[in-house]
């Protein structure tokens, strides 16, 4: 992940804190994060906001460790060791990237059901950046 | 919020309590209310300088609903106090959180009254503005006198205001910096130690600071039956105490229980704990 400026991060709070996506009024597909033009039908700019469930399944994942964390996650890796980052297929369709927390990295598997929770993601310039992380789905525990 | 029949957009008041807030200056509630979908016109407050902050937040919610009977308040107490690993305070510290909805609808318990006691005292637990660790000068007797003095005074004021006595309670929840403090206070109040059992969480989760009484109260509510009375008593150094009397009016079924949350655990060793806390690298 690259540096994200504070105003840029602030503008994405609806997605990061509340999983607000957009439903295309032309083809019905859900875009997340929001786009200028629907990435599925490629013709519509007409959307309605939808609150996504935040639930989905692990499509694929990687473990970040052995000093491989990007600068903003170095502190996290030092404290907690290697951590999983996954591409998750949300129930509503979109595939998105996020960390999986509250799990033994060895227990992560493709197809695993996850839900999102608001977590501290990293700290930059003394400002805590909050956002979603995935956790194993409560209902499966 | 998924366990209570309250829509986030109906919330008119939000109060957040913690002694270990990540910022000294910057609204803390806003992070939570934005996530929950609480309307931005709701009045919010952060309660941060005392382990009594949890009951402080509950009382502001109760007063809000008293003044505005159609209002709906949400209280969240979340804490993870930090001390130096060289301090004797440190090994007893824990982390936990509890949330309550305070309104006139769908009651599980009603608040019969609350009283407080506050005065100047010092030398016990404190955290200077340039430090993220709590300190204790370990003047035991002196600290103990304030702990006992403030809590018993808050309770006796409440008892005379509502015409009750400690033995009319089914459970008593007292600030739990350790297991000894609530036992000592209960003895002074003339409340049998068996009344502490249902709201006692310190043995499993440690000192929860501002979340100590809220989590204990949630545990006591889990174990209570209709018509039981619960007395909740907080204490924070400096010094202040709040006492709140509740009467249970309905069984609470939908929510996950404090015990089941405590049972869902994984043990880690002390070194790993210190790493996660950021105390060592």
Instruction: Please state the domain extents for chain A.
Output: 54-140
Longest Cα–Cα distance in chain B:
55
The yes-or-no verdict on residue B262 having pLDDT over 70 is yes
Task: Tell how strand B13-17 and strand B73-79 pair up.
Answer: parallel
| Residue B3 pLDDT class (50, 70, 90 cuts) | confident
Give per-residue pLDDT as tens, B33-90. 999 999 999 999 999 999 999 999 999 999 999 999 999 999 999 999 999 999 988 9
The yes-or-no verdict on residue B252 having pLDDT over 80 is no
Give per-residue pLDDT as tens, A61-86. 999 999 899 999 998 998 889 999 99
Q: Do B276 and A18 touch (CB under 8 A)?
A: no
Q: Do A78 and B276 touch (CB under 8 A)?
A: no
> What is the chain B residue with the closest CA to A117?
B35
- Find all residues with CB under 8 Å of A74, minimum gap 6, and list them: none
B96: part of which helix (H) or strand (E)?
Answer: strand B96-102
Two tokens, residue B100: 């309550």
According to CATH, what is the number of the domain B109-263?
3.40.47.10
Is the model more confident about B222 or about B1? B222
Helix/strand number for chain B, H first, E second? 8, 8
The yes-or-no verdict on residue A21 having pLDDT over 60 is yes
CA distance A16 to B16: 21
- Residues on chain B touching A18 (C-beta within 8 angstroms): 34-35, 37
pLDDT attached to residue A140: 56
A84: part of which helix (H) or strand (E)?
Answer: strand A83-90
Give the relative orientation of helices B140-162 and B180-189 as an angle to the nearest 10 degrees: 50
- Find all residues with CB under 8 Å of A113, minimum gap 6, and list them: A55, A56, A57, A136, A137, A139, A140
CA distance B33 to B90: 31
Two tokens, residue B50: 């005392």
> What is the chain A residue with the closest CA to B275?
A79
pLDDT attached to residue A53: 95
pTM: 0.94
CA distance A85 to A98: 6
The yes-or-no verdict on residue B279 having pLDDT over 90 is no
Average pLDDT over residues A20-42: 95
A64: part of which helix (H) or strand (E)?
Answer: strand A56-64
- Residues on chain B touching A141 (C-beta within 8 angstroms): 264
Q: Angle at Cα B16 formed by Cα B11 and Cα B22, nearest 5°?
A: 135
pLDDT attached to residue B281: 75
In chain B, which residue ranges form alpha helices assigned H by DSSP? 29-36, 53-67, 140-162, 180-189, 202-205, 212-223, 258-263, 270-277
Surface-to-core class of residue A36, CB atoms within 10 Å of its CB (0-12 exposed, 13-18 middle, 19+ buried): exposed
User: Given phi > 0 = left and psi -120 to 50 = alpha, else beta, which region is A54?
Assistant: left
Is A80 near chain B, with CB under 8 Å? yes
> What is the chain A residue with the closest CA to B277?
A79
Nearest to A122 by CA among A114, A130, A113: A130
| Residue B4 pLDDT class (50, 70, 90 cuts) | confident
B276 vs A80, A128, A130: nearest CB = A80
Q: Which of A6, A15, A16, A17 to mutate to test the interface with B (most CBs of B within 10 A)?
A: A17
Give per-residue pLDDT as tens, B190-204. 999 999 999 999 999
pLDDT attached to residue A82: 94
A128 vs B22, B275, B281: nearest CB = B22
Q: Mind telling me how many Å the CA of B22 is from chain A's nearest CA?
A: 8
B31 vs A78, A80, A130: nearest CB = A130
According to CATH, what is the number of the domain A54-140?
2.40.50
CATH architecture entry for B8-102? 3-Layer(aba) Sandwich (3.40)
Average pLDDT over residues A14-33: 96
The yes-or-no verdict on residue B278 having pLDDT over 60 is yes
Q: Angle at Cα A67 formed by Cα A64 and Cα A68, nearest 5°?
A: 45
pLDDT attached to residue B50: 97
Give per-residue pLDDT as tens, B10-21. 999 999 999 999
Is A13 near chain B, with CB under 8 Å? yes
Q: What does the mean pLDDT of chain B come to?
A: 94
| Residue A3 pLDDT class (50, 70, 90 cuts) | confident
CA distance A19 to B77: 24
Average pLDDT over residues B123-136: 91
Phi, psi of A134 (to 5 degrees): -85, 150
Nearest to B74 by CA among B25, B9, B18: B9
Two tokens, residue A75: 């502190």
B34 vs A13, A120, A141: nearest CB = A13
Instruction: Please state the domain extents for chain B.
Output: 8-102, 109-263
Q: Do B275 and A79 touch (CB under 8 A)?
A: yes
Q: Mind telling me how many Å the CA of B202 is from chain A's nearest CA?
A: 23
Q: Do A79 and B276 touch (CB under 8 A)?
A: yes
Q: Which of B8, B31, B39, B279 to mutate to test the interface with A (most CBs of A within 10 A)?
A: B31
Average pLDDT over residues A110-114: 98
Is A141 near chain B, with CB under 8 Å? yes
CA distance B172 to B232: 6
- Residues on chain B touching A17 (C-beta within 8 angstroms): 31, 34-35
> How is the beta sheet containing B171-174 ordered, strand by strand?
B109-118, B240-248, B229-236, B171-174
Enumerate chain B positions whose Cβ falls within 8 A of a Cβ in A: 22-23, 31, 34-35, 37, 264, 275-276, 278, 281
Is the model more confident about B252 or about A124? A124
Q: What does the mean pLDDT of chain A come to?
A: 93
Q: Mind telling me how many Å the CA of B188 is from chain A's nearest CA?
A: 42
pLDDT attached to residue B164: 95
- Express as a percent the part of chain B with pLDDT over 70: 99
DSSP conformational letter for B134: B
Listing DSSP states for A113-131 in one string gives EEEEEEEEEEEETTEEEEE
Answer whether B145's CB lies under 8 Å from B197's CB: no
Give per-residue pLDDT as tens, B110-122. 999 999 999 999 9
* B109-263 matches B8-102 in CATH topology: yes
Q: For chain B, state the CA radius of gyration.
A: 18
């Amino acid at each position: 992940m690259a540096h994200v400026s504070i105003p840029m991060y602030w503008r994405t709070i609806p997605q990061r804190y509340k999983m607000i996506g957009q439903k295309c009024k032309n083809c019905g597909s859900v875009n997340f994060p929001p786009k200028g033009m629907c990435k599925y039908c490629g013709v519509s700019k007409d959307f309605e906001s939808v609150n996504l469930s935040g639930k989905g399944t692990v499509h694929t994942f990687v473990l970040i460790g052995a000093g491989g964390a990007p600068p903003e996650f170095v502190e996290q890796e030092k404290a907690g060791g290697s951590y999983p980052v996954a591409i998750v297929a949300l129930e509503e369709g979109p595939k998105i990237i996020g960390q999986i927390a509250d799990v033994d990295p060895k227990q992560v598997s493709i197809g695993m059901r996850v839900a999102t929770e608001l977590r501290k993601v990293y700290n930059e310039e003394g400002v805590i950046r909050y956002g979603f992380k995935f956790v194993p789905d409560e209902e499966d525990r | 919020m998924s366990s209570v029949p309250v829509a986030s957009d109906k919330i008119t008041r939000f109060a957040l309590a913690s002694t270990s807030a990540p910022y000294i200056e910057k609204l803390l509630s806003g992070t939570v209310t934005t996530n929950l979908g609480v309307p931005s016109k709701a009045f919010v407050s952060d309660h941060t300088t005392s382990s009594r902050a949890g009951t402080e937040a509950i009382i502001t919610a109760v007063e809000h609903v008293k003044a505005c009977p159609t209002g709906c308040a949400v209280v969240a107490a979340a804490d993870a106090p930090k001390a130096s690993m060289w301090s004797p305070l440190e090994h007893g510290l824990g982390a936990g959180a509890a949330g309550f909805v305070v309104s006139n609808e769908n009651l599980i318990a009603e608040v019969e009254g609350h009283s407080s006691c506050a005065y100047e005292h010092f030398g016990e637990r404190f955290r200077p503005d340039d430090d993220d660790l709590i300190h204790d000068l370990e003047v035991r007797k002196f600290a103990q006198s304030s702990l006992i003095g403030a809590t018993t005074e808050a309770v006796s004021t409440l008892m005379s205001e509502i015409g009750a006595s400690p033995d009319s309670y089914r459970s008593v929840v007292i600030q739990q910096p350790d297991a000894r403090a609530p036992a000592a206070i209960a003895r002074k109040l003339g409340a049998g130690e068996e009344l502490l059992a249902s709201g006692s969480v310190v043995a499993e989760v440690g000192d929860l600071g501002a979340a100590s009484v809220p989590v204990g109260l949630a545990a006591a509510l889990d174990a209570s039956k209709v018509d039981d009375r619960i007395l909740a008593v907080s204490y924070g150094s400096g010094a202040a105490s709040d006492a709140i009397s509740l009467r249970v009016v309905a069984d609470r079924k939908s929510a996950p229980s404090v015990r089941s949350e405590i049972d869902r655990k994984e043990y880690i060793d002390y070194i790993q704990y210190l790493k996660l806390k950021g105390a060592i690298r």
